[in-house]
Chains A and B, each alone.
Chain A
């Protein structure tokens, strides 16, 4: 048998490198106008009046009164208005659109709008819980009562901006009486549903097309629905093609980011082992809940990461603040929690005077263990082998010892972690209900019909590879066009590390059926629907059972040197080992590893976004610092096969896994280099200075 992991050139690599790909900003329509957004200048207030200047011929304004359907954007939790009617809840909140053919003219009209808002005091702290979740396992009260020692620590994490290369954008037009929007999006059907409801139209009268996406990282999961509904309302009113592309600063101040968080972990220790744990994670949801509840739940489900703790009590809150709503970002709540628990295990060992590495290993999960929610780790867990490999290639143990010397400003840190693949709980079964089609025409050319989006992570290549391999066809004979809701079924959103495993799995099954029933020279079509593996049992209400059908695993080792004069952090080396079942294409996965680690490590020490009185301070790419090629060292990454029986060729999820362990690994390394405990990230030079000078 051929090895599916053997890399091929990405199918869109050439056109992207050659600059031929037409992204959303390259698309133009005849008679097109531009849309610009009027935004709230205040964090909290009540609109008294908005006075428009006289609009010239060909210019229009669109606001809440123009919405034909419901003034709430359809998403998992619905509290986000298309345009607010009375209350404004954050700086930058879109109040209305101005439309017209000339951008400079639009900009000066926008300046001339008088916005009269009665301002009140914004909520900016963790005081207003909008969602509270809780779950427990065993009897933590008893564990604490019996403990001979209790250890507690609190951790905070900051914002993170997705910093996709291409800002958010859409072009909309009416064609054959169909409201058509094409955009830089992750989830064509989310946008479809939201536009349909806002316009009060039928399924057929709304069509959503995906343009090539220049990066997303979760930022184009739910936010595009907000933008598309506004554009659609305008489209219905003015009936002319509209282009709406955010400028970078506008994008940064008004789109979703990773939730800042605060996590407190308490452990009951008996005979040198943690027997029970209570955790509370609070995330800053911003002004609307949106996806925050699901982000919170994924965070809470990672409360014990890759450790087995018998007695557990986990609480979480989404706090509402008068700031830009936070939302999906690669990792989805897990990076915050995994950071906290990895640091906690490390610090707990120090408190107990034990060697952190051995202490953590002694608590590590094994196949057959109960998960934090009382589900089961059914499949083989290869962490032992992976950790050994990571330690080996990085020379971890020797360096760890050598860097203990106080005069050496070097450090090495190791994290190990999991990531649940696919939607949480029975989300795939009950919410997503993924459908795929594989079709062939009379010339025996095969077409993949799914709504999965390639945003750089490679499904245009990997999904074709799967179908071509099953059918034993050259990849050129398998076509996968950009999704169009008029032509492809809803295979679900491109999120949650689900595309290769779930959508790829369904496609493999569809291709297999097609192969078995193949009739040469005849048009044929096969459809497959998602079926949850029988073993998955999940009680969403109590958060009990199997939160995920499968888990991917990883180990990160990061080495740093800290400058003793400037406290600057130099990331020297990154080593990793990953188990994501089976790579459908090795180079694509290693590409995900390089990118995910850069994003994850930088989350731990580099990327700063802060706010003052509800206003973000870093709002462009000069001030919001992401790593350059100079900042990230050459990485040494390894994959290890551990095929998952329900995934195509054994594949599990890989998109998010490579990000979630970066922060604790780099934070531990920094901690060793400066000889002080790191609790808050990003651990910037400014923070290290305070730690060093004030303990």
Chain B
């Protein structure tokens, strides 16, 4: 049976049974359960409809992080002053206006697609995910939540309650989504970058690449290897940066693009990010 809980607690009680799928905005899950016109939706599992849980609809600014409740829509995130600009840049390119009123960042995580645009920025920002169950909560880094296309470590009795974004300032950020058109497009590849410079020296460099591997690519050891360089040195070694990612960029041919293109463009975007620093 599908359920419409009235509180988070009630929702967690249902989840305990281990037979429910959470339905937030439904913009992924409705497609996965597509049926025929003039026939009921053939849900493959019991649905737990959480989009009307107002207690999970919030954006709260704390000293160390920003907390985003699980059913906060993209549209309301765009309106909030404390949502990091780079996340907003990504959200503005997700789907179209109508969808952004119902779709959620938690749903973007739950769907666990390597081309998810919101998730890409969560990787870049070191987001931490609060997973709640009737037994309590745990906090997990984003890269430990998503393990492969459509695969994640959220247990059947758990759901995402909140997304935490550590508050960090960067000297420079970069976001580029490459879709087949300007709206309503699934990324062929995407890149988010951020850097912190001090006295012309690279203190921190972050790069996240989407749609070129089974999960978003982020490699902290590569990033660390370019730390401490002067900006000029970094730019002079831009080819090395791209080359460092070579083995991680393993895209596929599919109905939307091809591997050669995805790879070349990923390299170009790494270069573009470094050059604009």
Q: Which residues of A contact B (CB under 8 A)?
A: 25, 34, 102-104, 107, 245, 247, 564-568, 606, 608, 610, 617-618, 622-623, 625, 627-631, 685-686, 689, 693
**Partner among B182, B184, B185, B258 whose Cβ is within 8 Å of the Cβ of A686:** B258
B interface secondary structure, majority: loop
| B42, CB-defined interface residue at 8 Å | yes
Chain B residue contacts of A686, Cβ below 8 A = 257-258, 260-261
Kindly list chain A residues whose C-beta atoms are within 8 Å of the C-beta of B39.
Answer: 102-104
Closest to B93 in A: A630
Contact in complex: A631, B182 (CB < 8 Å)? yes
Report the minimal beta-carbon distance from A220 to chain B, rounded to whole angstroms. Answer: 18
Contact string, B211-242, partner A, CB cutoff 8 A, digits 1/0? 00000000000000000000000000000000
- The bracket for how many chain B residues form the interface is 20 to 34
Q: Is B37 an interface residue (CB 8 A)?
A: yes
Contact B265 A566 (CB under 8 A): yes
B255–A245 CB distance below 8 A = no
Residue of B178, B185, B261 with highest tally of chain A CB at under 10 A = B261
Known: A565-B265, A565-B268, A566-B265. A247 touches B184 (CB 8 A): no
CB <8 Å contact, B256 and A623: yes
**Pair A104/B36 contact, Cβ less than 8 Å:** yes
In angstroms, Cα B184 to Cα A627, docked, is 10
Shortest CB–CB separation between residue A613 and chain B, in angstroms? 14
Chain B, Cβ-Cβ closest to A623: B255
- Would A565 and B257 count as touching, CB distance under 8 A? no
Which of B36, B181, B186, B269 interacts with A628 by CB under 8 Å? B181
B37 interface neighbour in A25, A107, A610, A693, Cβ under 8 Å:
A25
> What residues of B have a CB within 8 angstroms of the CB of A245 in the complex?
37
| A689-B182 in contact (CB<8A) | no
Do B36 and A606 touch across chains, with their CB atoms under 8 A apart? no
- Specify which of B36, B257, B265, B271 is in contact with A103 (CB 8 Å cutoff): B36
- Whether the pair B181, A630 counts as a contact (CB closer than 8 A) is yes
Residues of chain A within 8 A (CB-CB) of B272 are 565
Q: Find out whether the CB atom of B186 lies under 8 angstroms from the CB atom of A565.
A: no
Q: Is B183 touching A689 in the complex (CB atoms < 8 A)?
A: no
A-B contact pairs, 16 of them (CB 8 A): A25-B37, A102-B39, A103-B35, A103-B39, A104-B40, A565-B272, A566-B269, A606-B181, A618-B255, A625-B181, A627-B181, A628-B182, A629-B183, A686-B260, A689-B264, A693-B264
Question: Contacts of B176 on A, CB cut-off 8 Å?
Answer: 565-566
| Number of inter-chain CB pairs below 8 Å | 69
Does B38 contact A103, Cβ atoms closer than 8 Å?
A: yes
Task: Say whether, besides A625-B180, A630-B183, A631-B181, A566 and B268 are in contact (CB < 8 Å).
Answer: yes
- Classify the secondary structure of A's interface with B: loop
A251 vs chain B, min Cβ distance (A)? 12
Give residues of chain B (243-272) contacting chain A, Cβ–Cβ below 8 Å.
255-258, 260-261, 264-265, 268-269, 271-272
Chain A residues with Cβ below 8 Å from B96 are: 628
Q: Is B42's CB under 8 angstroms from A606's CB?
A: no
Highest count of chain B CB atoms <10 Å: which of A564, A631, A686, A689: A686
- Is A617 a contact of B180 with CB atoms below 8 Å? no
Give the distance to chain A from B155, nearest Cβ to Cβ, in Å.
Answer: 30
Q: Which A residues touch B184, using CB under 8 A?
A: 628
CB distance from A391 to the nearest CB of B (A): 28
Give B185's nearest chain A residue, CB to CB: A625
Cβ-closest 8 pairs across A and B: A630-B182, A617-B255, A565-B268, A103-B39, A625-B180, A686-B261, A630-B183, A103-B36
A566 and B35 contacting across the interface, CB-CB below 8 Å = no
Assembly CA distance A102 to B96 (angstroms): 34
Distance between Cα atoms of A363 and B3 in the complex (Å): 72
Shortest Cβ gap from B32 to chain A (Å): 12
Q: Are B261 and A107 in contact (CB under 8 A)?
A: no
Say yes or no: A565 contacts B269, CB within 8 Å.
Answer: yes
- Residues of B within 8 Å of A247, CB to CB, are 36-37
How far, in angstroms, from A245 to B91 measured CA to CA in the complex? Answer: 36
CB-CB under 8 A from B186, the residues of chain A are 622
Assembled-state Cα–Cα distance A650/B230 (Å): 72
User: How far is it, in angstroms, between the C-alpha of A25 and the C-alpha of B39 when the chains are bound?
Assistant: 12
Closest chain B residue, CB of each to CB of A618? B255
Query: A568 contacts B178, CB within 8 Å?
Result: yes
- In Å, the complex CA distance between A104 and B272 comes to 51
Expressed in whole angstroms, the minimum distance between the Cβ of B98 and any Cβ of chain A is 12
B262 to chain A: closest residue by CB: A686
CB contacts (< 8 Å) of B181 on chain A: these are 606, 625, 627-628, 630-631
Q: Which of B36-56 contact A (CB under 8 A)?
A: 36-40, 42
The reply to whether A689 and B180 contact each other, CB–CB distance below 8 Å, is no
A624 to chain B, nearest CB (A): 9
The 0/1 profile, CB within 8 Å of A marked 1, for residues 175-209 of chain B is: 01010111111100000000000000000000000
Q: A606, B180: Cβ atoms under 8 Å?
A: yes
Q: A565-B269, A630-B183 are in contact. List 13 more A-B contacts (CB 8 A).
A: A104-B36, A104-B40, A565-B265, A565-B271, A566-B176, A566-B269, A617-B255, A623-B255, A631-B181, A685-B261, A686-B261, A689-B265, A693-B264
List B contacts of A617 (CB < 8 A): 255
Chain A residues near B37 (CB-CB < 8 A): 25, 245, 247
Q: How far is the CA of A104 from the CA of B185 in the complex (A)?
A: 30
A564 to B178, CA, bound (A): 12
Closest residue of chain B to A25 (Cβ to Cβ) is B37
- Bound together, the chains give a CA A107 to CA B180 distance in angstroms of 33
Contacts of A625 in B (CB 8 A): 180-181, 185
